[in-house]
Structure 1
Amino acid sequence: MQEWARELGFSQIGVAGVDLSAAEPGLAAWLEQGFHGDMHYMASHGMKRARPAELVPGTVSVITARMDYLPRDTARDAPGGWQAAELSRLQRPHEGIVSVYARGRDYHKVLRARLQKLSDRIAEAIGPFGHRVFTDSAPVLEAELAARSGQGWRGKHTLVLNREAGSMFFLGEIYVDIALPQSEPVTPHCGSCSACIDICPTQAIVAPHRVDARRCISYLTIEHAGPIPVELRPLMGNRIYGCDDCQLICPWNKFAQVSRLPDFDERKGLSGQQLAHLFAWDEATFLRMTEGGPIRRIGHERWLRNVAVALGNALRATGDGALRAALQSRAEDASALVREHVGWALDAA
């Protein structure tokens, strides 16, 4: 099965059991503290997220898979390595930063299709069996299942870390109604390191293995639909979709692997672009430039909201009149959400 998976572009597969009861208290506490923010779907399914057999009746095993996603043209030989090259974008305030994973094709589509192909290969070998594939698309404790099945250990930023691949990979699952031998979990190797906690721009990692999504820039720029809290806007810098800081600083990501698929290659027009240029996109341009990618899901209005905040931060840092002109071009935007963030950006500078 590992060979089939590699042929389909996966880096590793494992098998986990369905008894995740030990994870339920932590999930309940996280929800009770409101750390999920506006992600109401996290709470609406209750403990079903930790109970695979309730989500898909008949499930007795979970096949987990991971797929590396670093673009093939990643600057691995850059001074200080690819992580330093990515972090250096923060020193270019006019440039909009899109999270590495979002620069290519939508991973949901890539993994879901290939997980289904893997399921078909298994069925050819053993006969028809009950299954359902998932990729960040249902109430599934992905990181917990990945850790239990030997894909890696949970880092202090809550992401899964692998000694040979860091954390730059996507996760997917196949819930199956057949009993399979479970993979052995691996031991954690974070030790006393707190680099991910220390670097978080908004201090969203409130304790080791505990993230308050309401403060996380990835949540604020992607999941959160309304106004971004005023006190967090200056901390966002020039990050306009997602945030990779906790991964970029992690020592294990010097081992991150480049994807073997062209799907995650950087699309022209998304990476290294000037904020003023991105802010000028009308909705038709936004839809065209993000077609088939994950960014499209936030919509044009939230895109402009995010870029407006970054423009305000860049204007404050540089005093560049061109940035002010870009913001003023949307001071009377049809969207109240956009107008509010443009107003803040102009006033804050």
Structure 2
Amino acid sequence: MTPLKTQLLQRAEAEGFDVVRVTTPDAIPEAPARLRRFLEEGFHGEMGWMQERADQRGTPATLWPEVRSIIMLGVNYGPDRDPMAGLADRSGGLISVYAQGDDYHDVIKKRLKSLGRWWGEVTGAPLKVFIDTAPVMEKPLAAAAGLGWQGKHTNLVSRDFGSWLFLGSIFSATEIEADAPERDRCGSCRACLDACPTAAFPAPYRLDARRCISYLTIENKGPIPAEFREAIGNRIYGCDDCLAACPWNKFAVTAREHKLKAREDLRAPRLADLARLDDPAFRALFAKNPVKRIGRDRFIRNVLIAIGNSGDPGLIEVVEGLLGDEAALVRAMAVWALARLAPARLAAQAWRRDDETDADVKAEWWAAGHAAPMHQGA
């Protein structure tokens, strides 16, 4: 290893990165074709931004022609308890592990910028710092650099950290000794595929995002398709099932960064409390947290689906209060949730159906009226 690379590794560790490897900009030649197939089949759903800059995603040098080396960095966010345990508590909501602490973008971006400034001073060469929001295919690049391999669920798996690595990258105009890629160690295992509640994997190593609970609860802006609602259970932001099912997690360790650890109030927050959040309260609760980016209305949509799946009669009243919410998205899911919990109570609110103007809300009223006789008891 060259002295310059040794310096890089030492500095990255000092900045709080748990793993760092280097690859070349031409290390993922198969990526453009795989991305093209993914987009052609429509598996990206509403994520139009993936298509808009597909050429830059598939070929790093197209994004920045001066790049000579790509430094891939990982920060461990391993949970301190089983992420699946919360699925049994149907009066509480389950938030994905990565979103139970501070927003990782903010935490890691500061470290990347600090490391980048130092690297620029040492090399005297230009560089670019990227984390998640740029058109960079971080997982294939991380696998090419040797941080892990892309499992059958398409996520990165690490021998040392299991499923729990946040990724960032530095594109450098400096030539750096590249590391060897990690080989695929999934073997015949299909635990991640079998764990998916919505059958989002049409085949190993292929994901149809339109069926993925993370996509449905985060990226999807409208009503969640009825066929997936029951399978969502009490997952109110994201899903960890395929990640948590991976046997390589036996080597995982708990995150050392305090800001990435779960906040106690976000481990299994009460659905009744969440359903009562107005916009200011939502913003206050999720300040510095990734959940804030989907906004109050989409979040309450998710909460109402969890309530509809809860079977908890103690949540009926809070759902009734949302039938008249200003947001049509919330009203629509309130109709669905109340139809599940207490169809007779929904029937008593039928006057709202006659006054409704939004097409999606009207559709939920229609479906509720045909899914269960409106005269049934609660």
**TM-score of the superposed pair, with normalisation by structure 2:** 0.86
Question: Quick one: which of 22, 28, 34 aligns to 2:30?
Answer: 22
Question: Quick one: which of 260, 267, 280 aligns to 1:264?
Answer: 260
Q: Which amino acid aligns with 2:64?
A: V
Q: CA deviation at 1:329?
A: 1.3
Counterpart in 1 of 2:364? none
Deviations 1:243-266 (CA, angstroms, capped at 9, x unpaired): 000111111112222222111122
Q: CA deviation at 1:326?
A: 1.6
Distance (whole Å) between structure 2 residues aligned to residue 299 and residue 212 of structure 1: 24
* 1:223 to 2:231 alignment: no
Counterpart in 1 of 2:4? none
Alpha-carbon RMSD: 1.2
Q: CA deviation at 1:51?
A: 1.3
Distance (whole Å) between structure 2 residues aligned to residue 336 and residue 255 of structure 1: 45
Q: CA deviation at 1:22?
A: 1.9
Distance (whole Å) between structure 1 residues aligned to residue 197 and residue 269 of structure 2: 22
Counterpart in 1 of 2:244? 248
Give the 5 Å matches for 1:113-262.
Answer: 113-126=110-123, 128-262=124-258
* 1:2 to 2:2 alignment: no
On the 8 A contact 1:95/1:274 being kept in 2, the answer is yes
Q: CA deviation at 1:310?
A: 0.5
* 1:94 to 2:91 alignment: yes
Q: Stretches of 4+ moved more than 4 A in 1?
A: none
Distance (whole Å) between structure 1 residues aligned to residue 309 and residue 16 of structure 2: 39
Give the 5 Å matches for 1:270-309.
Answer: 270-309=266-305
Describe the SS at the equivalent of 2:266.
coil
* 1:66 to 2:74 alignment: yes
On the 8 A contact 1:269/1:289 being kept in 2, the answer is no
Q: CA deviation at 1:267?
A: 2.1
Q: CA deviation at 1:190?
A: 0.8
Distance (whole Å) between structure 1 residues aligned to residue 68 and residue 274 of structure 2: 47
Describe the SS at the equivalent of 2:84.
helix
Whichever of the two has the greater Rg, that structure is: 2
Q: Which amino acid aligns with 1:345?
A: A
On the 8 A contact 2:56/2:63 being kept in 1, the answer is yes
Deviations 1:119-159 (CA, angstroms, capped at 9, x unpaired): 12223333x22111111011111000000000011100011
Describe the SS at the equivalent of 1:343.
helix
Counterpart in 2 of 1:106? 103
Describe the SS at the equivalent of 1:21.
coil
Q: CA deviation at 1:328?
A: 0.8
* 1:44 to 2:52 alignment: yes
Q: Which amino acid aligns with 1:263?
A: K
**Aligned residue pairs, count:** 333
Q: CA deviation at 1:300?
A: 0.4
Counterpart in 2 of 1:325? 317
Gaps of 5+ in 1: 75-81
Question: Quick one: which of 313, 326, 329 aligns to 1:337?
Answer: 329
Distance (whole Å) between structure 1 residues aligned to residue 319 and residue 193 of structure 2: 33
Q: CA deviation at 1:114?
A: 0.4
Q: CA deviation at 1:57?
A: 2.6
Distance (whole Å) between structure 2 residues aligned to residue 264 and residue 46 of structure 1: 30
**TM-score of the superposed pair, with normalisation by structure 1:** 0.93
Q: CA deviation at 1:282?
A: 1.4
More displaced stretch, 35-44 vs 323-332:
323-332
Deviations 1:143-179 (CA, angstroms, capped at 9, x unpaired): 0000000001110001111111101010000111111
